[in-house]
Structure 1
Amino acid sequence: MGTAASGQDNGGIKLLNFAEQKIKMLHLTWFAFFLTFVIWFAHAPLLIHIKEALALTDAQIKALLILNVAMTIPARIVVGMLVDRYGPRIIYTVVLFISALLCIGFAFAQTYAALAMFRFLLGFVGAGFVIGIRLVGEWFPHHQVGTAEGIYGGWGNFGSAAAAMTLPALALTFGGEDGWRYAIASVGVISAVYALVFYYFARNTPKGSVYFKPKKTGAMVVTSWRDLYLLMLMNIPMHLALGMLAWRLSPSGVNLFSINMMYALWALLAVLLVLQTQQTWRINAEHLRTGVPEADKYSFKQVAILNVAYFATFGSELAVVSMLPLYFLETFEGLTAIEAGLLASGFAFMNLVSRPMGGWFSDKFGRRKSMLILIAGLASGYFVMGLMDSHWWIPLAVFATMACSFFVQAGEGAVFAIVPLIKRSMTGQIAGMAGAYGNVGAVIYLTVLSYVSYSNFFYVIAASALVGLFAVMFLDDPKGHITEIGEDGTVHRISVG
């Protein structure tokens, strides 16, 4: 038997039809994600006030920005496992509430050490995205899931732009030298209240459906020896990215801590990689030796390809959003910092439309075909951005930037249109790993930017996107059914294409 979410519903997604439980759940979930992104990037538009209040140096500000993304890579992996084990309702509630406390702690930090600690811990907030991917995947059938996940991701991602548009005005409304503190803290209060709202109204699955859990926890479970070796290989870049972040915080970068501290962190990351590899082997070797039932099998190759695709899509988005205001300011003469920021904001603003469109393309025209077209468009878009210089007409440069961002964010939507269709009981872990690879991409791209010109930076992204395009050629379109086995031993067939 299939789950309710796999039942046929041939109509489109009617976002104002609140009589439908799945529509209520979609709105409830995207707003939870929206709040996590407001919290995650609440500091960005208020950095000038934070810098003045605590008399920070430019290096200390840069360190805060690096710390903001460091925790997100491991957090997405861990939260992915937790959501598969305990369900989205409880885990999103916990994430929203912990995020609220960390947000308030950051707002009222009185020293740079406290500020840096809370900023590092707030990287955990970025894991909220993973939870909703599993929840939305439970509620929507395969022919709507891409559009629904795109709406969830695109509207939620808009939280960073919403923070930039509203928090400076809110800080001004509060007034005084602590106005920025109250503005940031107010977001934390809203998140704490919404945690209770979410817990009260959210449900893991439609009524009568089964919430499938992985048979083992502690590491991702794969179903062939080849997949096990590929999984262990795919774990390495995440540790390398964290090592790169430690290097950027050392005297070679922003000088937050000593070179000896960097070496100590590298040694710790090496030990953690060894322990993770041992754990992955231990969790998987036993059941692979005894043989995996045909009904339980899935292809980890699909996950690896989506990781590479999200590296190029979301990784480049995070990196470009971070540098684009400065790029416009330094490239085009006569722009003020405010004007450059407004022109650059178009890149993130496109999320509202682009990501849902990517999911819709995937639902309508096929998963693999959509990915190929969108990543090819992304590579072309970044190549064109590499050609831009101070002689370009500014409106044309903005148009080229927004056209590129459409393909970037639509590509993200297409990636997560496939994630819920691989292995239902492990959707959280698959989403967590793909999401972590997005952050890995951002770390690597921003590190490249510190060594090359803006034009070469865009060319590097374009070239790496071609690697992603090649990988997507080996992606299999989800077809027919996937099979899950309930805790009582009953077999459930879930339609995926």
Structure 2
Amino acid sequence: MEEEKSQSKMDHSPNNFSIAVDYDHKATEFRPFSLSSPHMRAFHLAWLSLFSCFFSTFAIPPLLEVIRKDLNLTQTDIGTAGIASFIGSIFSRLAMGPACDVFGPRVASATLSLLTAPVVLSTSLISSAKSFILVRFLIGFSLANFVASQFWMSSMFSGCTVGLANGFAAGWANVGSGVTQLVMPLVYTLFTTSFNIPSFISWRIAFIFPAIFQAATAILVLVYGQDLPDGNYKRKITNNQSENFCSVLFKGLKNYRGWILGLTYGFCFGVELTTDNIIAAYFYDRFHVNIEMAGGIAASFGLANCVSRPLGGIISDKMGKRFGMRGRLWSLWAVQTVAGLMCVLLGRVNTVWASVLVMACFSLFVQAASGLTFGIVPFVSKRSLGVISGMTGSGGTLGAVITQLLLFSGSTKFSTQTSISIMGLMMIVFTLPITLVYFPKWGGMFYGPSNIDEDDENYHLLY
């Protein structure tokens, strides 16, 4: 075994890579505009594939006013469908973590995208409220690719850059939720005005585009992707791993840090998902803007991910370098708390442009908090990284289900603006448990490390 390990290191020396790497051949620098293989190519494939999934999942909300009239949907139907899309994502994200641990992120991601692409296409065939809810539930499964994306980045990039890589990959991918808010109304309008196609046909044709896009990116991942710096993931597990699937799963589930990060993520990314679902209709109904303008305003919320989530990753790495784990934890708490305050304010302002301004500030902080969360995840467990990533990722969609169900399901007695403010208060409260996260080797928010002499490898394997 030692000879095999030495041979592996000799065959794949750092000199074979066009980017600086550590002993495990993980990249120690991040070049977002490079296509060098395997690190940066994996980065671009990961974010593009996840981008297509966000595009598909949120292709319905910007056309909701048209679909609602055509299918005679009630507000309760729409709220239930939004909840259903997130429920689907919860189960798939929980499963995606262990799937990545066993099969690798490349195969797991591409398989899910190829399985859900036909569901996106079937949106053009729905004819009732029940089929609308079912399609949204099944499309939600595609968001599990987020777990594969973050797992892939954690497998390719070293601890000094993993927060940055995770932030950029997820941030650029999440822009898909904003781009679709712009593109889908434009595609719909193109068919109705330029080709004089009836409205009830135009919105159905529009869903051909996200389905093809998602399938195409999945094929790119399979053909050009590589799981790890040294090659095929399955081969590496076969040679070097002796633990079975259940052992990996249970060790991850017993780690309380994963549960707390899942809760925290539920009220940053979960709130972001809920906002993506309701923000276009909110501006359309409350301020009576047209569907194109509502889509444009909503798009700006998602498009902010291009900068804000990577910024969270940058902050996490910078604070980690200067203050250690304490810096990462304090940064997450502070940024998410400010995001909660911005969310409270968003529900209180009464003019369209003031709302747009507050929404922009809110998007910056809530998305940065998501990046900060996944700046901590890779340090929780090396052995059960996929499980921890799945727990955290599914916590994000569970948070979306909770906020959607309690505040925006159509049965609540609160107005939408009041519900938005309450959602902000929930963010502030459910960020507090992050103060309980503690690593014996690195410490926590209030206490220093208690076992600084423990070997890094053993530490990651034990916790």
TM score, norm. by length of structure 1: 0.73
Q: What corresponds to 2:404 in structure 1?
A: 446
Change (3 A) 1:194 1:397: closer
Q: What corresponds to 2:41 in structure 1?
A: 24
1:99 aligned to 2:116? yes
Change (3 A) 1:397 1:62: closer
Alignment of 1:24-423 (within 5 A): 24-110=41-127, 112-174=129-191, 175=195, 176-177=197-198, 178-207=201-230, 210=236, 215-217=243-245, 221-222=249-250, 300-329=255-284, 331-332=286-287, 335-366=289-320, 367-386=328-347, 388-390=348-350, 394-423=352-381
Amino acid at match of 1:476: Y
Residue pair 1:213, 1:425 contacting (<8 A) in 2 also: no
Q: Distance in 2 between matches of 1:345 and 1:99?
A: 23
The sequence identity of aligned pairs, in percent, is 25
Report the more deviating stretch, 127-136 or 187-196: 187-196
Amino acid at match of 1:378: A
Change (3 A) 1:107 1:428: farther
Change (3 A) 1:90 1:337: closer
- Deviation of residue 384 (structure 1)? 3.0
1:483 aligned to 2:457? yes
Query: Aligned residues, how many?
Result: 411
Change (3 A) 1:493 1:117: closer
**Structure 1 unmatched ranges of 5 or more:** 232-299, 485-491
Report the more deviating stretch, 409-418 or 8-17: 8-17
Change (3 A) 1:161 1:466: closer
Residue pair 1:368, 1:476 contacting (<8 A) in 2 also: no
Residue pair 1:89, 1:198 contacting (<8 A) in 2 also: yes
Change (3 A) 1:17 1:370: same
1:431 aligned to 2:389? yes
Q: Distance in 2 between matches of 1:170 and 1:455?
A: 30
Amino acid at match of 2:67: I
Residue pair 2:181, 2:296 contacting (<8 A) in 1 also: no
Q: Distance in 2 between matches of 1:189 and 1:86?
A: 25
Report the more deviating stretch, 1-10 or 453-462: 1-10
Q: Deviations over 1:293-318 (max 9, x none)?
A: xxxxxxx1321221121011112212
Report the more deviating stretch, 316-325 or 451-460: 451-460
Amino acid at match of 1:319: T
- Deviation of residue 55 (structure 1)? 5.0
Q: What corresponds to 1:473 in structure 2?
A: 435
1:457 aligned to 2:419? yes
Q: Distance in 1 between matches of 2:249 and 2:212?
A: 38
Residue pair 1:37, 1:126 contacting (<8 A) in 2 also: yes
Q: Deviations over 1:175-231 (max 9, x none)?
A: 4243333321232123223322211111110026945769343586455xxx97xx5
Q: Distance in 1 between matches of 2:242 and 2:345?
A: 44
Amino acid at match of 1:428: G
Q: Deviations over 1:367-407 (max 9, x none)?
A: 21321221232233234335x232x5x44432222112211
Change (3 A) 1:171 1:324: closer
Indicate the SS of the match to 2:168. Answer: helix
Residue pair 1:100, 1:191 contacting (<8 A) in 2 also: yes
Residue pair 2:300, 2:360 contacting (<8 A) in 1 also: yes
Q: Distance in 2 between matches of 1:353 and 1:131?
A: 21
- Deviation of residue 17 (structure 1)? 2.2
Change (3 A) 1:86 1:51: same
Q: Deviations over 1:335-381 (max 9, x none)?
A: 44544443343322211111000011000112213212212322332
Q: Distance in 1 between matches of 2:127 and 2:66?
A: 13
Q: What corresponds to 1:257 in structure 2?
A: none
Indicate the SS of the match to 1:38. Answer: helix
Q: Distance in 1 between matches of 2:175 and 2:106?
A: 22
Q: Distance in 1 between matches of 2:244 and 2:268?
A: 31
Q: Distance in 1 between matches of 2:294 and 2:55?
A: 21
Q: Distance in 1 between matches of 2:131 and 2:425?
A: 40
- Deviation of residue 455 (structure 1)? 5.4
Q: Distance in 2 between matches of 1:166 and 1:344?
A: 12
Residue pair 1:135, 1:204 contacting (<8 A) in 2 also: yes
